[in-house]
Chain A
Amino acid sequence: MKNHIEAIRKQRKISQQELADALEVTRQTISSLENGRYNPSITLAFKIAKFFNTSIEEIFIYEGD
């Protein structure tokens, strides 16, 4: 699954640490999400979407298995 977290975060001038603090995760988790090494749970995906005030579909792109 691809995502636009890094692009949206940079566009809004937010650091990885700030995003991590807001989502109550570690900075490493944000880094893993941005690199596509880790796919978030539905709860975290909703938290990310809520933080950026957008929908999940605009952040995450499902590409099948």
Chain B
Amino acid sequence: MKKTRTVVFARCLVVLAMVSFVAAVVSQSVVSNIYITSALYLLAIISFPISMVLASIAAAKDKEHMKNVELARKDERLQNITMRSKAKAFDVISYILSLVTAYLSFSKMVDMIAVLILSVLTLSTLALQLYYFSKYSKEM
């Protein structure tokens, strides 16, 4: 994307959102002032969506960028890479989620309800996988 004023401003806002979010988390434990922490969280919450809107406006104006985006959307190799990376990420997250659930259920660090919710979430990924497998099997 061309480095226009809007793009630079959007990037600055992203940095501002990140910095204010980290500052809010830190201030929660260091300063213990609810107003400062809330203000920092609010700044992060407001600046991030504004930066996204500005970035999309700048992208829509940049014809060369839009052409590249459209080409990347059509390219079957990139589509394959995207699908494979998503599938791999799902596998890794499922594995981690199962391990964390198992660990938390044996340790007494968290409430049993939290473990139960986590277990339901872990099992729901399997259920969703089965559902979509069945759906796509009928379609293809």
Interface residues of A (CB under 8 A from B): 24-26, 28-29, 32, 38, 40-41, 43-44
Mask, B67-99, CB within 8 Å of A = 1, is: 000011011111010000000000000000000
B75 close to A26 (CB less than 8 A): yes
| Contact call B78/A29, Cβ cutoff below 8 A | yes
What is the CA–CA distance of A32 and B76 in the complex, to the nearest angstrom?
Answer: 12
The answer to whether A44 and B71 have CB atoms under 8 Å apart is no
CB within 8 Å: A-B pair count:
25
We find that the number of chain B residues with CB closer than 8 angstroms to chain A is 8
A29 & B74 in contact (Cβ 8 Å cutoff) = no
Residues of B contacting A26 with CB < 8 Å? 71-72, 75, 77-78
By secondary structure, the A interface counts as loop
The 4 A-B residue pairs whose C-beta atoms are closest, nearest first, are A29-B77, A25-B75, A26-B75, A24-B74
- By a CB distance below 8 angstroms, the chain A residues around B71 are 24-26
Complex: A48 Cα to B72 Cα, angstroms: 18
CB distance from A54 to the nearest CB of B (A): 21
Q: In angstroms, how far is the closest chain B Cβ from the Cβ of A33?
A: 8
Chain A min CB distance to B71 (Å) = 6
